[in-house]
Structure 1
């Protein structure tokens, strides 16, 4: 069996490899959404994989290995999407990040996937690899929020606040809303609180 691929395998530029990566990652997504973290096994992922099952087992020999690459893949997509989004107005960019964490409309599969992700996050204190991946994804979002708020303060669009502390508070609020909504399976809770966050930002952050 081949060595388990790492982040470099996910980021390869070979077209055929990219296609295989995408299909494996989509299979992981579907398996997690349907089964949750505890019940997702290599067999469940293989059943969602549209290509040869042998191809999946050739690249991965454990659930932890494939999830590590899945988290790397998610982080790369998150970082790329945040870089690609271009807004002249820092407030519009800030709202776009809020909408990415708390979507305006979230369907059952998206909610179930977030439930699975929170189950994975609960393993972080006991799994160093998961811990590092979670820290990386959190850092990407926090840095984006901090830079956006800093830009708003410097241009006079936002009130004179501490960008790092405000970003930390905002991210913790958004995360808490999504975690609670996912745990309760309550899309309305997510949508209601998303609107309250937007109102609060308008009242307390805009200059």
Structure 2
């Protein structure tokens, strides 16, 4: 998680170049300070292309969020060859990294700003609902697999996933909106939660096998 950018390669076409410019402008200015002009300042081609494809900032940002969700889905650790416990820990590390560089930290803060728009904007609400639904289902699927393998206790996978997702969102929001550094503490507590609440005792695992 120490890379300096979510876009490590040259953009593949105009659409990806627009998404990269949006990402850079969002990291620099946040949602409140973001304008089409500032996105255009990061865009290597004619700014008129932005105005041609998008009616305004929010239309562009909603497409950007969909683009980033596709990237997020593609980069979620897929480690079916590992046991469920290792797989779950890898997903939690991916979702709540403790070693963000300054650019990624700025981007995470901007995403917290964007999530706040969902309180009053139905389009943003729909996006973030879809995003959370995907991630919650992925977490629940790993917990369910762990139960089937005898690695995890017989817990409710959906409730476990909801709790972990809420903890992740809470840490991101608190760190983005206060002077408190919360990510490392919450990640440690999630690790403790997996160990104490999910991992099956050795005798229980042996009984299932």
| Alignment TM-score, normalising by the size of structure 1 | 0.85
Q: Given that residues 88 and 142 in structure 2 are in contact (C-alpha distance below 8 angstroms), is that contact kept between their aligned partners in structure 1?
A: yes
The answer to whether 1:98 aligns with 2:92 is yes
How far 1:87 moved relative to its partner?
3.0
The answer to whether 1:47 aligns with 2:47 is no
For 1:104-138, what per-residue CA distance to the aligned partner results, in whole angstroms no more than 9, with x for missing partners?
31111111111111111111122111111101110
How far 1:194 moved relative to its partner?
1.3
For 1:123-165, what per-residue CA distance to the aligned partner results, in whole angstroms no more than 9, with x for missing partners?
1122111111101110110000011100001110101101011
Aligned to 1:123: 117
Q: Given that residues 159 and 205 in structure 1 are in contact (C-alpha distance below 8 angstroms), is that contact kept between their aligned partners in structure 2?
A: yes
How far 1:75 moved relative to its partner?
1.4
Q: 1:203 aligns with which of 182, 185, 196?
A: 196
Larger helix proportion of the pair: 1
SS at match of 1:50: coil
State which drifts further: 34-43 or 85-94. 85-94
CA pair 47-185 structure 1, distance change in 2 beyond 3 A: farther
Q: 1:111 aligns with which of 105, 115, 123?
A: 105
Large movers: runs of 4+ above 4 Å:
none
The answer to whether 1:171 aligns with 2:171 is no
Residue pairs, 1:56-205, within 5 angstroms: 56-82=50-76, 85-88=78-81, 89-184=83-178, 186=180, 188-205=181-198
CA distance in 1 between partners of 2:184 and 2:40 (Å): 34
Output the aligned Cα RMSD: 1.7
CA distance in 2 between partners of 1:159 and 1:19 (Å): 48
Q: Given that residues 101 and 174 in structure 1 are in contact (C-alpha distance below 8 angstroms), is that contact kept between their aligned partners in structure 2?
A: yes
Q: Given that residues 115 and 182 in structure 1 are in contact (C-alpha distance below 8 angstroms), is that contact kept between their aligned partners in structure 2?
A: yes
Q: Which runs of 5+ in 1 are unaligned?
A: 1-16
| Alignment TM-score, normalising by the size of structure 2 | 0.84
Q: Which runs of 5+ in 2 are unaligned?
A: 1-10, 201-209
Q: Given that residues 167 and 186 in structure 2 are in contact (C-alpha distance below 8 angstroms), is that contact kept between their aligned partners in structure 1?
A: no
